[in-house]
Amino acid sequence: MSISFVIVGAGWIADFYLKALNKLDSEFVLKGCVGNPSIEGQKRLKEKCDLWNVKAYSSYDEVLKDTSIDAVAIFTPTSMHYSQVKEAIEHKKHVLVEKPVALNVEQLDVLDKLAKENSVTVFPGHNFVYRPVIKKAKEIIDSGKLGAISYSSFRAAHFIPEDHASGWRKDFSKSGGGAMMDSGTHLVYQFLYLIGKPERLCCFSSKRHYLEMDGEDTCLISLFNKGGIVSQIFQSWSCSDPSAGEIRIQGDKGTILISDSLYFNGELVETDSSYESSFFHILKAFYDTINKNQEPISDIQNAKITLKLIQDAYKSANDKSIKEFV
């Protein structure tokens, strides 16, 4: 059974999802899109809806009242997520929502409770964890082939477009943070999936390039996990370094490297790692969760742990302390 849905937010991320939808035409039916009510936002919305040959909804309220819509995909600024997800749940629509899902864990608790009461799915936009390279890496780790894991590193370094740095991401009250809260969320939820919850952490952050932003553009979190695994999560918007976009996991019997592909002890074992294909995989998982009762890899509780870890890291950076993570 196909899922009819509407895209909420006509920004650049919607384009990646549309490309993925073209490969999932039997699973999903895109009915339309609703965008920013500003003149510029409405212009962009009309252009995209004309291109996609779908309806341009006049408002989010119109979308919610449309009983033919099964789900919404929310790609709006972070500060809008909570109210939009809450309203969608109350109208018994499934939700795929970009990360971070909300600005605080209390909001996530409310959404989780409401979703269960209304029997709908709230699916965090944790697309990276659905990549075949990550799922295969998890299989290798769970098999014990790495032996005793001692170290892991999750790294990304790149610039962001100037309009991103000067738009809503500039304002802490709308973004909830800087580089780590935004694109660094991808690193954090992958760390939690592959390595697990840490026992304690500390953090260092700074602004080196986007000085006008409220939040940081460079952030390093050091973590200690049960059993003695030490890790680093590093996200920077202050340089462009393609080689820094990688995950390394070191054990006493083997090593995993995820860069352009997945390598185990230097041997290529999986090639599907791309950003673009991750949207196909997450949409497929969203469909399977709704129609096949398949458990998602990353649910709203994972989003809660991810958000708490980042916010604890920010507190550590601010007060120069080591935080117990419970």
Q: What is the mean pLDDT of the chain?
A: 95
208 and 259 in a single domain? The answer is yes
Q: Quick check: 243 pLDDT over 80?
A: no
Mean pLDDT within 171-195: 97
Residue-wise pLDDT tens digits, 268-301: 999 999 999 999 999 999 999 999 999 999 999 9
Determine the structural domain holding residue 185 and report its residue range: 129-275+305-324
Q: Quick check: 84 pLDDT over 90?
A: yes
- In a domain? residue 300: no
pLDDT score recorded for residue 240: 82
CATH of the domain at 27: 3.40.50.720
Residue-wise pLDDT tens digits, 42-52: 888 888 899 88
Q: How far is CA 255 from CA 230, 251, 264, in A?
A: 15, 6, 6
101 and 162 in a single domain? The answer is no
pLDDT score recorded for residue 171: 96
110 and 19 in a single domain? The answer is yes
Confidence band, pLDDT 50/70/90 cuts, at residue 41: confident
Confidence band, pLDDT 50/70/90 cuts, at residue 70: very high
175 and 249 in a single domain? The answer is yes
7 and 83 in a single domain? The answer is yes
Q: Quick check: 39 pLDDT over 70?
A: no
183 and 320 in a single domain? The answer is yes
- In a domain? residue 87: yes
The closest of 131, 157, 120 to 297, measured between CA atoms, is 131
pLDDT score recorded for residue 44: 82
- In a domain? residue 76: yes
22 and 49 in a single domain? The answer is yes
DSSP helix/strand/coil, 55: strand
Dihedral sign of CA atoms 296, 300, 305, 311 in order: positive
pLDDT score recorded for residue 217: 97
255 and 289 in a single domain? The answer is no
pLDDT score recorded for residue 147: 98
DSSP helix/strand/coil, 325: coil
Residue-wise pLDDT tens digits, 99-148: 999 999 999 999 999 999 999 999 999 999 999 999 999 999 999 999 99
19 and 122 in a single domain? The answer is yes
Q: How far is CA 289 from CA 1, 131, 192, 292, in A?
A: 13, 16, 21, 6
63 and 78 in a single domain? The answer is yes
CATH of the domain at 227: 3.30.360.10
320 and 175 in a single domain? The answer is yes
258 and 318 in a single domain? The answer is yes
Q: Are 193 and 298 in contact (CB under 8 A)?
A: yes
Looking at the structure of the chain, the number of domains it has is: 2
